[in-house]
Amino acid sequence: MHRIGIGYDVHRLCKGRKLILGGVNIPSSRGLSGHSDADVLLHAVCDALLGACAQKDIGEHFPDSHSAYKNISSIKLLKKVDSVLKKLKYSIGNIDTVIVAEHPRLGPFKAKMCRKIAKALGASCGRVNVKATTAEGTGPVGRGEVISAYAVALIERSKK
């Protein structure tokens, strides 16, 4: 049986934080504000995977009211989500993502993001895709106030 989930996340940009996207530290004068490392890409992936297996959302699994998740690497959260999938006997079919950011340019980092996500999920790189686009100067993304990300995940019941 195949199941599909969608995820979305957005965080404000701020000074004094590292910019982490897809588990990769991106050189930037500003990072994303949030309780964890605020990695919008991985948060969207987590929500897509959790949604695909009907297991609520990232906020319910890792609430920002819990000190254990303060500044936590979202790669660790993704690995915990992968454990949920494995417990339910699901495997990754594929994950497709898009980051929406005006700056910095993300092209040079997309392949590394794919590798990091695939490794965290124990999947092949061919099952993960990371795209990046801009908002063409419109809205909060276009004004450089926020970065957002979308993810779609296809999972399938493991045959094991």
Domain of 59?
2-157
66: domain CATH number is: 3.30.1330.50
Q: Tens place of pLDDT for every residue, the chain, 160 residues?
A: 999 999 999 999 999 999 999 999 999 999 999 999 999 999 999 999 999 999 999 999 999 899 999 999 999 999 999 999 999 999 999 999 999 999 999 999 999 999 999 999 999 999 999 999 999 999 999 999 999 999 999 999 977 5
3-state secondary structure of 43: helix
Q: Count the domains in the chain.
A: 1
The pTM of the full predicted model, rounded to 2 decimals, is 0.96
Query: Residue 110's closest CA among 134, 128, 130?
Result: 130
What are the E-state strand segments in the chain?
2-14, 19-21, 24-26, 31-32, 90-100, 128-133, 146-157
